[in-house]
Amino acid sequence: MAEEVVLMKGNEAIAHAAIRCGADGYFGYPITPQSEVLETLAELKPWETTGMVVLQAESEVAAINMVYGGAGSGKMVMTSSSSPGVSLKQEGISYIAGAELPCLIVNVMRGGPGLGTIQPSQADYFQTVKGGGHGDYRLIALAPASVQEMADFVSLGFELAFKYRNPAIILADGVIGQMMEKVVLPAQKPRRTDAEVIEQCPWATTGRTNGRKPNVITSLELKPEEMEKNNIRFQAKYKEIEENEVRFEEIHCEDAEYLIVAFGSMARIGQKAMEMAREEGLKVGMLRPITLWPFPTKAIAAYADKVKGILVTELNAGQMIEDVRLAVNGKVKVEHFGRLGGIVPDPDEIVEALAKLKIEG
């Protein structure tokens, strides 16, 4: 398949991009608002064209453990779900991180807690960037703000996951998953051959050949001194990721007196609010974190001495704001604007919050 321009949902873009980037397998379970990922893969039948495995597991727990097995053999494997389903996957995600395996996870967030609602939310920020499962581990977290980025971040997520032997996650909200936009789909890449997998993933369980020592995939280590060494190695890897993989976007920040910090769909709404505020004479810029981890701490800290106030806008009660406040270290006022329960705000509401921030200074 050649490069193609089509109109589709964000969830559908995930499925198309997975096939086109040469993924080996998808293991998932349907849940609103991300079910179109699995539905689209089933409709496209990639097992007949590229040989990609697509399997609806019996549960989210089963799906993430299938990913664990596929990743252990060096294959490009992925799963997708929405908030309650991702919660069920947390033990498996921790195991995968502890075994240092690359894989891609997609979370199209919905409102909670509990079963909550099927409407959009960004309330899984803490779960994603602070470690939803047990132990000291990190996920490389990409936050798309468009259908195009939903497609682009599939290949980027796999690239980063294999580069660092670490799970990566696309953290989208229900707005981005369900909205339809024009998207440029990449040309089809072939799946890697078994020989290429062996060459690129010498750690993988690909079958013992040429007299090499057996590869053992596990997160278990009963000797505390060895487990400490493992954790120290993990932390060194995470530091390397923080130094090299921070991604963010700045819009009209050169002359900004106030700064909006937002990700995902709230960045889309925030950009419109920024434009409206500028029309009213308020110099507002926006910084959009693209990687939620590693977080653009230094980039945000640089504005602490440049702006009069920062407004963090999220579809939650206030989660990313904690990382923004840590970044500026009390040097500038940071306020939060958010809606809960699946309510998506209008740009006017953010403009009002900016005006309040200016007045209260």
pLDDT category of residue 1 using cuts at 50, 70 and 90: confident
CA quadruple 252, 256, 259, 260: dihedral sign? negative
Query: In which region does residue 155 sit, left (phi positive, over 0), alpha (psi from -120 to 50) or beta (all else)?
Result: alpha
Give the 3-state secondary structure percentages of the chain, helix then strand then coil, rounded to 5.
40, 20, 40
pLDDT of residue 117: 95
Query: How far, in Å, CA of 199 to CA of 234, rounded?
Result: 23
Give the tens place of pLDDT for each residue, 73-118: 999 999 999 999 999 999 999 999 999 999 999 999 999 999 999 9
Give the tens place of pLDDT for each residue, 150-180: 999 999 999 999 999 999 999 999 999 999 9
Cβ within 8 Å of residue 176, ≥6 positions away: 10, 108, 144, 145, 146, 147, 150, 264, 265
Task: Report whether 352 contacts 282 (CB < 8 A).
Answer: no
pLDDT category of residue 359 using cuts at 50, 70 and 90: confident
Query: How far, in Å, CA of 11 to CA of 103, rounded?
Result: 18
Task: Report whether 87 contacts 109 (CB < 8 A).
Answer: no
Query: How far, in Å, CA of 68 to CA of 249, rounded?
Result: 33
Mean pLDDT of 283-309: 97
Query: How far, in Å, CA of 124 to CA of 111, rounded?
Result: 9
Per-chain mean pLDDT for the chain = 96
Burial class (CB in 10 A: 0-12, 13-18, 19+), 242: middle
pLDDT of residue 2: 78
- Distinct helix (H) and strand (E) counts, the chain: 14, 14
pLDDT category of residue 361 using cuts at 50, 70 and 90: low
pTM value?
Answer: 0.96
Burial class (CB in 10 A: 0-12, 13-18, 19+), 226: exposed
Q: Which SS3 state, helix, strand or coil, does residue 289 take? A: strand
Query: How far, in Å, CA of 316 to CA of 322, rounded?
Result: 12
φ, ψ at 91 (rounded to 5°): -60, -45
**Is the pLDDT assigned to residue 358 strictly greater than 90?**
no
Share of the chain above pLDDT 90, in %: 95
Mean pLDDT of 196-205: 95
Mean pLDDT of 272-300: 97
**Is the pLDDT assigned to residue 297 strictly greater than 80?**
yes
Structure tokens at 305: 């001495």
Query: How far, in Å, CA of 297 to CA of 67, rounded?
Result: 31
Q: Which domains does the chain have, with CATH numbers?
A: 4-194 (3.40.50.970), 248-360 (3.40.50.920)
Please state which of the ranges 15-29, 212-226, 235-249 shows the lowest mean pLDDT: 212-226
